[in-house]
Structure formats: structure tokens, C-alpha cells
A and B are shown apart, each in its own frame.
Chain A
């Protein structure tokens, strides 16, 4: 069937004879007529023929000229005719839409949603996965460096944090590279006093600039001489955006001094607009990496291999493959490792370098959000497919309703090709309108989505009306136009003139109904897949939310104090911390406050632990240490299961108490009472810390961290840490007043930040929250569209079969019989769709499993609920037309013929 249609598409039109033949015929006629005229005047035939040729002039070249002129004319006519046809088709289509504005609006809205979702997701995925960083010299030869090395548990670790010393070794030793640079994206406090802000600052080596095709728009970039370890030179290059916002784009910013972290930097240049290095965030300042590192760590960073923090950007020599560079760098890496004191040969030989694309999310460690975003891009394509199927169905229904009109026009001699073109023009026009509305949807709705999905990306760089996004949208709109238009158009092209013109013409409609039903099955199947996805993510999110962290992050604030080089004696510092703690406790709305060393998902400390008579017990697994002040357990909300919590009194020597987690108590002293046991930190010679309490397990490092061995010790009186505050109400409302109070207490350039702990935990939950929201949104949309489609098809087939229904009623069929008949049709479509969709979801399950939490990808409960929901929707959608069918008056239906 489809083939016949295709043949019709490509069939040759009857062409006028070739230009050459026409010209020859005309000239032949002329010469013959002239010869005859001369003969008639008495000339001999051959002399006459010669005279005719003479009078004509150069026959050959004239023929050429005539052929050329006529070919040009034909071309002109063809173009004019084509344009005229197009104009007519557009006019015809627009008139049709005006007659049925509801239909046009429905189609445009459906496509707009589909295309809008795709334009948005393309913008996102393009930014994180495809668009090379702006200004990068040779993206195909540029790589980000990852190290792979064995970890303690016998597995392997992938790490893109590298020490400065190792970076120097790698770049100096490699022979396959043309350039290498180090960079590190940091948050730094910039400015002093009230205008001070935490901003994105890139620490980059001097060689970084040479890897980009970039010139400062003002001043200069820093040089190797300014990037010498240990301290570098305190110079800064401003990012364009920051130059605009903080200096109003004033050229006099050059030479000014700006406080970054602990010391003033001299502004020497401004980077051009859009230059962010490899960062996806907005970079406010670029400073020499040696200067930035020195501010943080003094000269310790220079020759310690263990001090891993920076990232490396490399450029291979032209012609060098990534694998060749991997091998070369691995060799250098292993040599560098082997030269380290205490190197283990087994570790050295299993360590290697892996180069990956410069875009972080294409490397071996994509962020969770990025992985979810890729899935959502796939989902958006599915939504567009559903929208296509639905629009194709609507157009098909319309074409069927216009069967008689089309037959009349065919009978009147309109070429089928012309008719086909007209129908395609109609659907293309619809999808172009859909594409335009899609762009608007992407612009307004997409902004919210972009921020929610990938909050770490600076979206101001790419606008919606970006060339790549526009191209993508136009291409998808056109493709959609062809996809949705071609099937109905082919169907219409098949119209049998005589059959359709015969009164009543019902025959032949069965096949098209089947086609429409298969489009519906496709929609149902795709909806099922999306809904299953949404179900799985919803259950993951619920599981994540239900995880008992062992502490209550909901109403916790934590305070970070950055001294920025302000010199305080230990005694002054302790006094300050104590004052801040007291001030925090005094604030209305604060329930309690404590000082702690570690922060969830931020800082953990592992130290050796000794038990008398058993020596070092670190063979049992990692033992995490935290040092806390009194009130710690009440502040964080970690319950003490047995014994007592640590108090302020425990901090005063020689008291030595400890609290251990349930898991630690169980593993270290199996079958014994842990309370009263002795622990020694760091060395066997240390004094005993007596276990006084057992606390509930906490998930501190990650959500899967369920059996963490954690032990708590009193924070020494001169110990430092972060202040934790438990508020009575919403912590976000308390954060700013608390910050202002505490900022007033600190001396010099010290900078205080106060953050809700949920903000730190948020990235942990975000992938699931996003997946759940987006899959549900798209899945719901798909279900709605499919339901409308089902309703439309059933309603149409009921109208087509009114006659048959009438006969059935006349023969004694009851209401129930008719209901069953019609609803059965809907259920059949739904069941096939469910089966196909479930099979698809079953197969896709393996891919999505790693994104879920606590629920298998082939969760029977989810599959079951989705199947039930879809079945229910199908029944509801077919019940309305079924009810109408059951009320058919047999007399009316039979007389209508």
C-alpha cells in the first residue's frame, strides 16, 4: 500500500517536448515554406532550397541562440508556476484553518509543546555535551586529564584532581603534546566589607591563555613570569561580565586593586565577552594558579604529590590520537609515581592516565544532573513522536472527512501530485506555526527548566535565539511536517474517485481506521514507557526522601568563617568562636548551636584507631572521626541510642569520652557492650577514650553510606570547626539575620557565610527530583494527548458505523451490547499499546537502572499501576462515543442513507 503511494509520488509528469525538437520543427517548417514560395515563383527546387538557406543566414548559430533563449524561458515559467502553486496552496491552507480554528489551534499547540520541549532540551544537552568551549583553539585535539589508580578496597578510582607537582611532571615529560595547562574553578570572596561577595574565580596557569584563540579586550593576560611557584604574582584578569557589573565597563579598572581571598590583586586585563575558560559557570576573575594556590595552602602545594586539586587541559600534537597520548602520558605518570618515596610497584603498574573530551560531562564522571538531562532529551523526542502521531491522526481524520471534496477535485482533473503537495503544504504550515510556538514555549518555560536542571551552568551565554538552537528547531519542525503530513497525504492520494463519489461511500474506510488505530497503539506504547519512567523516578524520589540520614537537616544552618589572612592568635580565635557560638544561641528563633569539625557531603576525616590488646583496627574498614562540642547531638538531631551524649564538660582535659555509631559498636565489639570500652586515637600509646554513648548511624558521605563506622570525640578547647545552628522555624529566614549578627563580631577582612544544610544536600536529591518531575510532566502530557487521540478515533469510527449500529439495534441489540462493542475497540488498542510499551520499558530498564534509588528498573508494581491507569483512560475515552452509539435511533440511522 505504501509502495503504491510512493510510486505515485515519484511518477513522471507528462513533459512538453524538448526545446531542441521544437526549435528544429519550427525552422524546418520555415525553410520548407520559403522553398515552396520560391518554387511557386518559378525557381527550380534545389536553387530555391539554396536561396531559402541564404536568406536565413547562419542556421547553426541561430538554432543555438533560439534553444538558449527558449530554455531560459522555460525555466522562468517553471519557477513562476511553482511560486504561484505555492501561493495558492498557502492561501488554501490558511482558508481551511480559518474555517476550523479549533483544529488548527489543537495541532499547533500539540506540536508547539513537542517542539518546545525538544528545543529546550537540545539547548541544554548541546551546552553540556556538544558545544565546544568558546574560543578553544582546537577542540578535537584538546583533552581533559583523568587519572585511574587502584584504591584501598581493591577497586579503581577515577580522579581528575591532580597535584601541582604531578601536573609539572606530566606536562614536562610528555612527548605527544603541543601544550598543557592547569586550571581550577574556585569560589573566592572578592572585595572587602559590605560589597564583598563569593564569586567564581578561575585559577589558571599562564599557558592556559595560549590554548585559546583569545585576546584581552583591555590590558593583557598574565605571563609565565607571573605564574612562578610558590607565590606567583598577585595579578588578575577580569571576566567580561564582572567588569561590566562591578566596574561599569570602565577602562580605568586597569591597574586598580581588588581583594581576592586573603590579599589584594592588581587588575591587568579584561577577557572578552563569552570567555569562561572551560567553566560552564560565570567566571568573575582569572588569577595565576600559583598565586591562588599559595593563598590557600602556602608553599605546601608545590612539591607534595598528595595535594590533589587542580585539573589539566592538554593539546595533542596534530596527528596524535587520544590512545597514543594516553600511552605516552601513562608512561610519564608511572615514572613520576615510581620516583615517589614509598611507591608500591603493584600500584604503579596499575595506574594510568586517561584523556577525555574537554567537556566535563562527556568524561568518565558525568554529573548526575547531566545524565538525567540526556535522558530527558530522549524523553522530549518521545513526546514529539507522540505529538506527531496525534497530529498525523488528526490530519488523517480531516482528510477522511474531506474525502468527497478531494474526490470531486480529482474528478475535475486536479493532478494527484498537485493535491499531495497541497496537503503537505498544509501540514508543513501547521508544523512551522508549531515550531514558532515551540520556540516561544522554550523561551519562557525553558528558562525555568534550564535553571532547575543544571543550576551550575551560566545560561546567559547562550540565548534562545542562538544559531544552533534555531537550526535545530527549524529542522525538527520541517521533519515533523513531513512525518505528520505524508501518511494522510498518501491516504488522500489513494482516494478512489468513483467509490468516494457514490452516495454514502463507507467502504474502504476500514483500512484507514486500522492505520489510525496503529498510530494510536504507537502513542499508547510510548505513553506507557514514559509513565513507567515517571513511576520509577517517583518511587526513587520517595525512597530517597524516606532514607533516615541519622540527623535532621531540615532546620539546620551552618556557619563558615573565612579569615582571609586576618592574623589571630589561637587564644583570640577560640575566644571569637566562643563569642560567635554564644551570639548565635542568643538569637531568637535559634534552638541550639554547636561546633563540629565535619560537614556532611563536604568534609570527613579518617584516622587510625587502636583498641587495647588488638592494636590498629582499621582492617575492619574506614573509621570516620568527628570532633564535636557539647550540644552537638541535640543540634543535628542525631539520636543517642544508649548511654549519653558528649557535653561541654567532656572538652576539658583530662576527661576523655567518646560516642560511637551503632555499626561501629557492633563491628568493633561484637557481642559485647560497647559502653565502657577503650579507644585510642592515632597511636597505641595515646590515652584511652572511654565510650560513653552509642549514636544512631548517620549517612554522611553519600546516601548509600548505610553502615558507616563513625566515632565522635570532644572538640578540644582550642579546636576549630563550623558552627551548626538549629532553628525553630524555616532556616532560610534565619540565615541572613544570623549572618549579619556574626559578621559584626569578626575582625578585619574576615568573611562569614551562613547556609542552610539542605542547600548542601540538595544536589544529592536533585537528579531524582528532576527525573520524577520531568518524567511525570512529559508522561502526563503524553497520556492526555493519547487519550484525545483515542477519543477522536473511536468517535470517528462510531460515526462511520452509525448505519451498522442502527441495523444492530433494529435486529435487537441492547445498549450493553453496543457499549461493549465500542469500548472493546478502545480496550484492544490500549492492551496492545500496553504490551508494546511494557516490552520497551523492560528493555530500556537496564540503561536507566543506575539512575534509580531503591527500586528495580523492572519494578512490577510500577508496571502494573501504569498498565491499569492506561486501561482506565482508554475505557473513559471510548465510553463517551460508545454511549452516543448506544442511543442511535435505528429509524434515523437507516433512513439517513
Chain B
């Protein structure tokens, strides 16, 4: 896989996961379900990639994990944003918005720019 595409994917996935956790601790399955339902399954993300993102961000200190009990009383690993993770989410959201705006402007351009 070309490197640029991977980076884009990874960065995108990270920010989605951070967003998924921004309402409080969730286990991996809940994160996957939330992303899938929110995007109407358009992004077609494999769950394996999601877990990789979770663990990588845990290592970077963006999220913390703790074992807890799931709704139906089973042991599950819950992830929670750290302060660093919250800051990362803010920064990445801003970057993504700018990026998306820029791409949108180009794709909906109505005239040719003239070089002076």
C-alpha cells in the first residue's frame, strides 16, 4: 500500500476513534459500532484496523485503558481519553475541517484563477 494513503487512513481513523471516545469511556466494540452507525458504514473500516489504532494511541498516551464490566456483565477493556488525547482531538478536528474546506472549495470552483 502506498505510504501516503496509509498515513491518511491512519490519521483519519485515529481522529474518528478519539471522537468516538469523547463522550466517555467505551470498549472497542462500542467504538466500532458507533463509527459504523454514524458513517452509515460508508468508510468500510475493518475492526482489526480499529483495534490497532486504539492500542497505538494507548501507547502514545492519548487514551488510557482499564478493564471493566460490559452491559451484560462481561469483562471488557474500556478506553478513555487522556488530557493529551482531548488536545489531539481538538487539533485534528480543526485540521480536518480546514482540509475538507479547501478540497471542497477546489471541487466547487466556478472560475479559472488568472496568474498575474
Contact = CB atoms under 8 A, between A and B. Distances in A.
B29 A57 contact: no
A25 B75 CA distance: 8
B58 A56 contact: no
B59 A30 contact: no
Given A30-B29, A69-B59, A62 B48 contact: yes
Interface string A33-76: 11001000000000000000001111101100110011011001
B47 interface: yes
B33 interface: yes
A183 B99 CA distance: 84
A507 interface: no
B74 A29 contact: yes
Contact of A66 (B46, B51, B74): B51
Contact of A34 (B47, B49, B58, B70): B47
Contacts of B28: 26, 29-30
B81 interface: no
Nearest to B28: A30
A855 interface: no
Select the residue from B33, B47, B49 with max chain A CB neighbours within 10 A: B47
Given A34-B47, A55-B46, A57-B46, A29 B77 contact: yes
Nearest to B60: A73
Contacts of B70: 29, 33
Contacts of A76: 59
Contacts of B29: 29-30, 33-34
B56 interface: yes
Nearest to B55: A69
Contacts of B76: 26, 29, 33
Contacts of B27: 29-30, 33
A622 interface: no
A27 B59 contact: no
Contacts of B59: 69-70, 72-73, 76
A65 B51 CA distance: 10
Contacts of A582: none
B32 interface: yes
B77 A56 contact: no
A22 interface: yes
B17 to A, nearest CB: 14
Contact of A69 (B46, B52, B74, B75): B52
Contacts of A34: 29, 32, 47
Nearest to A65: B52
A61 B58 CA distance: 19
A30 B51 contact: yes
A809 B89 CA distance: 77
Interface in B1-50: 27-29, 32-33, 46-49
Interface in B57-72: 58-59, 70
Nearest to B31: A30
Nearest to B56: A69
B52 A66 contact: yes
Given A29-B27, A30-B32, A76-B59, A57 B77 contact: no
Contacts of B32: 30, 34
Interface in A49-106: 55-59, 61-62, 65-66, 69-70, 72-73, 76
Contact of A56 (B33, B46, B74): B46
Contacts of A37: 33
A369 to B, nearest CB: 64
Contacts of A57: 46-49
B47 A55 contact: yes
A202 to B, nearest CB: 66
Select the residue from B27, B29, B52, B75 with max chain A CB neighbours within 10 A: B29
Select the residue from B33, B49, B51 with max chain A CB neighbours within 10 A: B51
Interface residues of A, number: 24
A146 B28 CA distance: 83
A22 B47 contact: no
A79 to B, nearest CB: 13
Contacts of A66: 51-52, 55
Select the residue from B32, B56, B59, B70 with max chain A CB neighbours within 10 A: B59
Given A30-B29, A37-B33, A56-B47, A22 B55 contact: no
Contacts of B55: 65-66, 69-70, 73
Contacts of A32: 74
A25 B27 CA distance: 12
Select the residue from A29, A30, A61 with max chain B CB neighbours within 10 A: A30
Given A27-B51, A30-B28, A56-B47, A73 B58 contact: yes
Interface string A375-388: 00000000000000
Nearest to B49: A57
Contacts of A29: 27-29, 70, 74-77
A321 B99 CA distance: 80
B79 to A, nearest CB: 10
Contacts of A56: 46-48
Contacts of B49: 57, 62
Contacts of B46: 55-57
A473 B68 CA distance: 53
Contact of B77 (A22, A61, A62): A22
B45 to A, nearest CB: 9
A65 B50 CA distance: 12
B77 A58 contact: no
A199 to B, nearest CB: 69
A26 B29 CA distance: 9
B101 to A, nearest CB: 32
A62 B58 contact: no
B48 A59 contact: yes
Contacts of B56: 69
B77 A26 contact: yes
Given A55-B46, A73-B58, A73-B59, A62 B75 contact: no
Select the residue from B28, B55, B56 with max chain A CB neighbours within 10 A: B55
A26 B51 CA distance: 10
Nearest to B71: A33
A32 B29 CA distance: 10
A66 B70 CA distance: 21
Contacts of B52: 62, 65-66, 69
A464 to B, nearest CB: 46
Nearest to A53: B47
Nearest to A17: B67
Contacts of A33: 27, 29, 70, 76
Select the residue from A26, A29, A34, A57 with max chain B CB neighbours within 10 A: A26
A322 B70 CA distance: 79
Contacts of B58: 69-70, 73
Contacts of A22: 77
A59 B56 CA distance: 17
Interface string A464-498: 00000000000000000000000000000000000
Nearest to A27: B51
B52 to A, nearest CB: 5
Nearest to A70: B55
B40 to A, nearest CB: 15
Nearest to A33: B29
Interface string A280-312: 000000000000000000000000000000000
Given A22-B77, A57-B49, A70-B59, 7 more contacts: A27-B51, A29-B27, A30-B29, A30-B32, A58-B48, A66-B52, A73-B55
Interface of A: 22, 25-27, 29-30, 32-34, 37, 55-59, 61-62, 65-66, 69-70, 72-73, 76
Interface of B: 27-29, 32-33, 46-49, 51-52, 55-56, 58-59, 70, 74-77
27 contacts: A22-B77, A25-B77, A26-B28, A26-B77, A27-B51, A29-B29, A29-B77, A30-B27, A30-B28, A32-B74, A33-B27, A33-B29, A33-B70, A34-B47, A55-B46, A56-B47, A57-B46, A57-B48, A57-B49, A62-B48, A62-B51, A69-B52, A69-B55, A69-B58, A69-B59, A70-B58, A73-B58
The 3 closest A-B CB pairs, nearest first, are A57-B46, A62-B48, A57-B48
